[in-house]
Structure 1
Amino acid sequence: MDPIHLEPVDEVAITILVDNVYDALLGGDERTRRAPFSVGAEPAPHFEEGESFVGLVAEHGFSALVTIKRLGHTSSLLFDTGLSPTGMVVNADRLGVRFDDLQAVVLSHGHFDHAGGLAGLAGRRRASTMPMLVHPEVWTRRRVVLPGSEMQPFPTVSKKALRQEGFDVVERRVPSLLLDESVLITGEVDRTTEFERGMPPSHQAWTGERWAHDAKIIDDQALVVNLRGHGLVVLTGCGHAGAVNIVRHALRLTQVDRLHALVGGLHLSGPAFEPIIPPTITALAQFAPSLVVPGHCTGWRAQHALAAALASAWVPSSSGTSLHLESTPA
């Protein structure tokens, strides 16, 4: 594929609306802002004051609001929507995030823990049509079959329901440029590493005739921004294509020679993926990123290993964390 010119941006902000963890005691710095200890109050009659503080929702899912600033103009899109119909919008309300100026929604892939919040979003935008960019295989029926356990079907995203709710669904296998060509959605990611082999045989998809091993989750795609003077900022949902494959793919597509930041799920949790933690970290370290914020399905073993190997770059994720990255002044 010919190189894609990705317009550099002056600023990018990634607000993590939903993640597996909410830690109200995490500290911030010049580029990392954390939600306050209390983001509101609710009635609680067993306290003298009649109310108690509330925090943010943490659930096994992921959602991020991406805002870019270029040539004085600011625009934003939503990347994934979390697990539950309410979690993302509850957190958005408590953080003071509004969806009024949202220009698009992107689904990283069709798993329900990234699409569950679409119902809540639709409830906030009944009066308007919202562009939604997805891979054509996002509608695939999937299930998990573990030895000695009952078959677990996954909820399947409905194209018909989304269109009825006002979403303007756009299906693309190839890369797409959004927000005045300043945000790249990778489309299908080239699989080039030897160790990132995808899901185990227990993960299956319906082919139309039978259930078959779905290793690749071919609809997996990432979001990429080119931060002027620094390099690429790569945002993943689960990173089913492999974190290293995704970074290589983004660098190759854009012909930008540096990875500045990697944010999102890296899917290194559990016995099927923990063996590839060492080669993944070795490869990521060669990119020398300035910021690594792994979340969601990364797993605690990989988090510990990343924190040790990339100590100056690693930052813990949490619902409510906002990353603010700025370009180098000319």
Structure 2
Amino acid sequence: MCETTAGPGDVTASLPKPAPGEAVDPIRLEPVDEVEIVTLVDNVFDALLTGDERTLRPGRGAGMVAAPQFEGGRTPAGMIAEHGFSALVRVRRGDRVTALLFDTGLSPGAMVTNAGRLGIALDDLHGVVLSHGHFDHAGGLAGLAGARGVRSLPMVVHPEVWTRRRIAVPGSPADELPTLSKRALNGEGFEVVERRVPSLLVDGSVLITGEVDRTTGFERGMPPPHQAWTGTGWVHDPTVIDDQALVVHVRGRGLVVLTGCGHAGAVNIVRHARRLTGVERLHALVGGLHLGGPAFEPVIAPTVAALTELAPDLVVPGHCTGWRAQHALAAALPSAWVPGGSGTTHRLTAGAA
């Protein structure tokens, strides 16, 4: 179990280190003894879901709040669910544990509130990783800054995370999305580190993929209404090029891949992680897979087929995966698919030597 936390002196070890070679070259990813992924924010919360030896649920009693209409004046509030994603990742090697925050959810308060209801302190974080710049993954940065105060905290991002974007559906007014401010984040104590290529964190045991190679023929990205500002005009932005994933190698099990939205495509991301690390086995895939809605439903079948061939031990699709893809994955991978949700913890431990 992840019970020992790393000390303040370990922050330096959590800073990104340039991974050797280009993004397509092999990287030595140090195996870990355990990785624990706590979903702090997801689109759903179901207090009736049951867990097992690797999946822990918060249950109906989570988050007691004041409620004067009840005898005793309190009631369980459960976890906040919203259209966003955030996960706390704890990595253990031996007796040393390092905690990283991967994305922060949609609203300023949901992530911090849910962490509090789970009894998780966010003041011992060693770094933040943003999967990409969309606001439903970065909105909780304000709440995190408020909870921690202005203290230095490394944050790993892709250089295009600051891109202005909008949704311009023909016949409707264009809707510009909130854009991250580097100046504001620096002022709040985040030590922003920008990298396009892979980064190794936590003494080489956590990989941030950087830009993902797009190798499949079916994962084509966002539809034409998703646009980016070039400085002179708006253009179709299919790739969301700042999309990146977090990868850990659990000793004796294989790769654990954590995605925010998976804009690069779930299969592209897994292929990229395998190619970078030289580790063929996919142990777990957790996070948003962006297969919801009419523009992405044609991608479901080939994605499910490719993931079925990879035969992961655990698949926890969340956030923007969509209900049709959830059903398809559950049918194709019944022993691996597990429903996620705010407050759920997935604990993955090393295999026998």
Query: Which TM-score applies when normalising by structure 2?
Result: 0.92
What is the CA distance between 1:322 and its match in structure 2? Answer: 0.2
Deviations 1:222-252 (A, max 9, x none): 0000000010000000000000000000000
1:323 corresponds in structure 2 to 346
Matches of residues 105-124 of structure 1 in structure 2 within 5 Å?
105-124=128-147
CA RMSD of aligned residues (A): 0.9
1:10 alignment partner, one of 33, 36, 40: 33
Shift of 1:48: 3.4
Amino acid at match of 1:273: F
Is the contact between residue 150 and residue 188 of structure 2 (CA under 8 Å) also seen in structure 1?
no
In structure 1, what is the Cα distance between the partners aligned to 2:280 and 2:92? 22
> Which residue pairs with 2:288 in the alignment?
265
Q: Secondary structure in 2 aligned to 1:103?
A: coil
Deviation at 1:272, TM superposition (A): 0.1
Q: Distance between the aligned counterparts of 1:30 and 1:49, measured in 2?
A: 34
2:199 counterpart of 1:187: no
Aligned to 1:211: 234
**How far, CA to CA, are the matches of 1:182 and 1:169 in structure 2?**
20
C-alpha distance in 1, partners of 2:74/2:28? 53
Letter paired with 1:280: T
Aligned pairs for 1:66-145 (under 5 A) are 66-145=89-168
2:197 corresponds, among 151, 174, 177, to 174
Amino acid at match of 2:180: V
The aligned residue for residue 321 of structure 2 is 298
- Structure 1 partner of 2:278: 255
| Poorly superposed stretches of 4+, deviation over 6 Å | none
Report the equivalent of 2:54: 31
Deviation for aligned residue 1:127: 4.5
- Secondary structure of the 1:280 match is helix
CA distance in structure 2 between the aligned counterparts of 1:231 and 1:325, rounded to whole angstroms: 10
Tell me how far 1:47 sits from its aligned partner: 2.6
Q: Secondary structure at the match of 1:215?
A: coil
Query: Corresponding residue for 2:182?
Result: 159
SS of structure 1 residue aligned to 2:155:
strand
Name the stretch that deviates more: 91-100 or 40-49: 40-49
Q: CA deviation at 1:138?
A: 0.1
Which runs of 5 or more residues in structure 2 are unaligned? 1-23
Aligned match of 2:45 in 22, 27, 30?
Answer: 22
Cα distance, 1:13 vs. partner? 0.2
User: Which letter maps to 1:263?
Assistant: V
Aligned mates of 1:286, 1:256 — CA distance in 2? 16
Alignment coverage as a number of residue pairs: 330
Tell me if the contact between 2:49 and 2:59 (Cα under 8 Å) persists in the aligned partners. no
CA distance in 1, matches of 2:170, 2:332: 35
- Structure 1, residues 183-238: CA drift from partner, whole Å, max 9, x if none? 00000000000000000000000011100000000000000000000100000000
CA distance in structure 2 between the partners assigned to 1:40 and 1:253 by the alignment: 41
Other structure's SS at 1:102 match = coil
TM norm structure 1: 0.98
1:61 alignment partner in structure 2:
84
| Bigger mean CA offset, 9-18 vs 91-100 | 91-100
- Report Cα offsets for 1:79-109 as digits up to 9, x if no partner: 0000000000000000011112211000000
Give the corresponding residue for 1:280.
Answer: 303
Per-residue deviation at 1:71? 2.5
Partner amino acid, structure 2, of 1:33: L
Specify the alignment match of 1:225 in structure 2: 248
- Write the distance in 2 (CA, Å) between the matches of 1:11 and 1:55: 27
Q: Alpha-carbon deviations, 1:3-49, whole Å to 9, x = none?
A: 00000000000000000000000000010000121213223233333
Secondary structure class of the residue paired with 2:330: helix
Percent sequence identity over matched residues? Answer: 71
Q: State the alpha-carbon separation in 1 of the partners of residues 189 and 63 from structure 2.
A: 31
Amino acid at match of 1:309: A
CA distance in 2 between counterparts of 1:305 and 1:40 reads 33
* CA-CA distance at 1:124 after TM superposition: 1.9
More divergent stretch after superposition (43-52 vs 197-206): 43-52
Q: Distance in 1 between the 2:25 and 2:63 partners?
A: 49
Q: Distance in 1 between matches of 2:150 and 2:174?
A: 40
